[in-house]
Structure 1
Amino acid sequence: MKGYNFKFEKILNLRLREEEQEEDKYLLLQKELNDIKSNIEEIETKKENVFLELRQKDTKLSSIITLRKYLQRLRLNKEQLIARKEEKSTELAQQLEILMEKKKERKTLEKLKEREVEEFIKEFLKAEQKELDELGRHYSMGGRSI
């Protein structure tokens, strides 16, 4: 059987590489989003610790002022992180759409390849059967030339 060559193999490989690149971008964005979420949680923990310290009865006025300023910085940082989180969420959704489109393009080419391989096999088997039929006729006639 002669080897089958898919005429769009290079394009299929290109689509596969593009899909892998888009998937890497998606995973990177997802990691960045998770980092932002963990930073927000960390800020919340710090705020809780500050509130616990403020509730203590023996806290001095200077400490209270310092802690309130620290709380303001934490709130500002949290607001900035929430804004970045929303931006990353939007980027992540867009990247997911791009990734799904790349997967769709690759799968389309893979289906085309599968159909062409099936057609190639059918044609090959048909040619083999024709050759076997001719050999059978030849030998049934006693090996005489046709």
Structure 2
Amino acid sequence: MKGYKFRLQKLLDIRIDIEEEYKRKFQQAQSIKEEVENRLDSLKTNYDKYNTVNSKDSIIDRKIKNQYLIALNSSIESTASELRDKEEAVEEVRLDLTQKQIERKTVEHLKEKSLQSFIKEQNLIEQKANDEFALYGFIRNINKKS
């Protein structure tokens, strides 16, 4: 709209930039969480793969497999703990992002209200001018008839 200037535009721009930054942080936290999930799935797959007992294996092979399964189990537990931490971090960033979106939308709402008020004011000014022109035209027509 010509002649309209939102006084809080810099604030709105800052809030938009902050929201974009938090969107990037959220995406980064989400991708890190997905990497940990993939690692956990891989460990569980390996555990399931080597958890079978084969009667043809020697005692040494069984002991080695048992030690490997213990190590895998330990890794699964630590990765599951890490996954819970990453899920909490993602949730925390999600809440921050939601708050930043609310802050941005608040200023955008103020901008919309201000713009509507400006348009309404401009329409009133235009309507007054049109009414004056119509009144002058009416008076001129009356003077011509007289």
Q: Counterpart in 1 of 2:107? A: 109
Q: Counterpart in 2 of 1:66? A: 64
Q: Which ranges of structure 2 fall in alignment gaps of 5 or more residues?
A: none
Q: Counterpart in 2 of 1:9? A: 9
State the 1:64 CA deviation.
Answer: 1.2
Q: How many residues align?
A: 142
Choose from 86, 97, 100 the match for 2:98.
Answer: 100
Q: Which ranges of structure 1 fall in alignment gaps of 5 or more residues?
A: none
Q: Counterpart in 2 of 1:85? A: 83
Percent of aligned pairs with the same residue? 26
Task: Tell me the C-alpha RMSD between the 2 structures.
Answer: 1.5
- Aligned mates of 2:3, 2:60 — CA distance in 1: 83
- Aligned mates of 1:17, 1:63 — CA distance in 2: 59
State the 1:118 CA deviation.
Answer: 0.5
Q: Counterpart in 2 of 1:41? A: 41
- Aligned mates of 1:121, 1:11 — CA distance in 2: 22
State the 1:38 CA deviation.
Answer: 1.7
- Aligned mates of 1:105, 1:27 — CA distance in 2: 20
SS at match of 1:132: helix
- Aligned mates of 1:141, 1:133 — CA distance in 2: 12
State the 1:36 CA deviation.
Answer: 1.2
- Aligned mates of 2:11, 2:117 — CA distance in 1: 20
State the 1:47 CA deviation.
Answer: 0.7
TM-score by length of 2: 0.90
Task: Give the letter for the 1:119 counterpart.
Answer: S
State the 1:2 CA deviation.
Answer: 3.5
Which runs of 4 or more aligned residues in structure 1 lie more than 2 Å from their structure 2 counterparts after TM superposition? none
SS at match of 2:55: coil
